[in-house]
Structure 1
Amino acid sequence: MADVGGMPHPLIEPGLWVERIGDRVFPQHLPALFLDRDGTINVDTDYPSDPAEIELRPQMLPAIAAANRAGIPVVVVTNQSGIARGYFGWSVFAAVNSRVLDLLGDHGVSVDMVLACAYHEAGLGPLAISDHPMRKPNPGMLIEAGKRLDLDLQRSLIVGDKLADMQAGRRAGLAQGWLVDGEAAAQPGFAIRRLDDGDDLAGLLPAIEALGRDNGS
């Protein structure tokens, strides 16, 4: 726990936030639902930095609810280059992220872990690292969550609004992902599904529910 700006934050290194949310206990070797944050869970306002402006994307609420019901961990993995660039600090990220979690809670859904990577080649000081292993499209955040929650990454799913999210999922060993406002595609060993509107949830929700059934939930 690092002290940044007078407030303690769950930083395990200068540019990596790893926070366990809530106290749910999960059996070993469960799959997870990995979610990007900005543009996936909430509307991306281009480096979100004002909690009052946070607005959820309602399309993701049924997916998070399905994972909660199935007993599957929900893990947020988000790049935060705005911190690296000096636009805002970890305290602002904490306030915005808290608002996202509160809004989700207002809808009766929750996440279990949040990981954020602030490293970027255009960053300042110790955050100025190009192609850091934790920054998507690299798989570091997914692998870190996998170690901490003892996850089965091969059966896990990822939803994001950028190809970097899909690439991170593929590199972490996941079999498929859903691309918000994107096109379906196939890569070796990895399938990208589209998630443009509520109709596309017809594929994602059964996939989440099947993970729960596989684990006896």
Structure 2
Amino acid sequence: MADGTGTSHKLTEPGVWIERIGDRVFPPHVPALFLDRDGTINVDTDYPSDPAEIELRPQMLPAIAAANRTGIPVVVVTNQSGIARGYFGWSAFAAVNGRVLELLGEQGVFVDMVLACAYHEAGVGPLAVADHPMRKPNPGMLTEAGKRLDLDLQRSLIVGDRLGDMQAGQRAGLAQGWLVDGEATAQPGFAIRPLRDGSDLSDLLTAIEMLGRDVRS
């Protein structure tokens, strides 16, 4: 599938985008830092489609930097129902995502893979799919990244601004996640930690550093 922008090679099916960023090589069975995009990495402007409007949330920069420094892959997993609803196309997504990556690069941090799912029950045409396995809260994007990068999902972390991000992490077998502006809760095998202030961020950075020590040992 192509939309006139040369993005077809990143679409593994009409509603799934998978892009490997850079060429860093990781050891087998390494944990990852999974990040939602809109509302987590960048300010959510309600179906972002204009690169000029993209603004980073500075809170996530230290976490990405810590993962980069310790050799942990950073993987973006983002729902993009605006594509399914016809608000914009994959070309606009590519432009916005490129701007996000550019702004991160200007801050000296980077991600290693981006996965996006455009399927939604309110979509049109082939994108009108309810409860697609790739769409969060389903774990498909995380498990697909796990296969492609040979990740240890159980030791991996996820950060997002919606409960659906946390549910995707739990269903993928992760043990913990950080919920932006959320509350701490615990379910069997999965802990949700809040990410609201500097103390919470310090806890996240400590968790990332600990994973990095495991990778290097």
TM-score bracket, normalised by the shorter chain, equals over 0.9
User: What does the per-residue CA deviation read over 1:18-54, in whole Å, with 9 as the maximum and x for residues that have no partner?
Assistant: 0000011111100000000000000000000100000
**CA–CA distance in structure 1, aligned partners of residues 59 and 5 of structure 2:** 36
- Following TM superposition, the consecutive aligned residue runs of length 4 or more in structure 1 with deviations greater than 4 angstroms are none
Give the match for residue 16 of structure 2.
16
**How many Å apart are 1:194 and its aligned residue?**
0.2
User: Is the CA contact 2:7–2:94 (under 8 Å) kept in the aligned structure 1?
Assistant: no
Paired position in structure 2 for 1:74 = 74
Is structure 2 residue 191 aligned with structure 1 residue 191?
yes
Q: Does 1:130 align with 2:130?
A: yes
Partner of 1:4: 3
Superposition deviation, residue 178 in structure 1: 0.0
Give the letter aligned to residue 108 of structure 2: G
Q: Please tell me whether residue 148 in structure 1 is matched to residue 148 in structure 2.
A: yes
- Counterpart Cα distance in 1 of 2:198 and 2:54: 21
- When normalised by structure 1's length, the TM-score is 0.98
Q: Please say which of residues 197-206 and 124-133 is displaced more in the overlay.
A: 197-206
Query: What pairs up with 1:42-191 in 2 under 5 angstroms?
Result: 42-191=42-191
Structure 2 unmatched runs, 5+ = none
Q: Tell me by how many angstroms 1:197 deviates.
A: 2.3
**Matches of 2:140 and 2:2, distance apart in 1:** 23
Q: Provide the aligned C-alpha RMSD in A.
A: 0.9
3-state DSSP class of the match of 2:45? Answer: coil
Figure out how many residues of one structure are paired with residues of the other and give that number. Answer: 216
**Aligned partners of 1:202 and 1:114: how far apart in 2?**
25
Displacement of 1:202 in angstroms is 1.3
SS in 2 for 1:94: helix
The letter of the residue matching 1:21 is: I
Which stretch of structure 1 is more off in the superposition, 189-198 or 95-104? 189-198
- 2:212 aligns with 212
Q: Distance in 1 between matches of 2:199 and 2:214?
A: 24
Does the 8 A contact of 2:7 with 2:91 survive in 1? no
TM-score, normalised with respect to structure 2: 0.98
Letter in 2 for 1:213: R
> 1:3: how far off?
2.4
Distance 1:122 1:81 in 2: 8
Q: CA offsets per residue over residues 79-100 of structure 1, 9 Å max, x none?
A: 0000000000000000000000
List alignment gaps of at least 5 residues for structure 1: none
Identity of aligned residues (%): 83
Amino acid at match of 2:47: Y
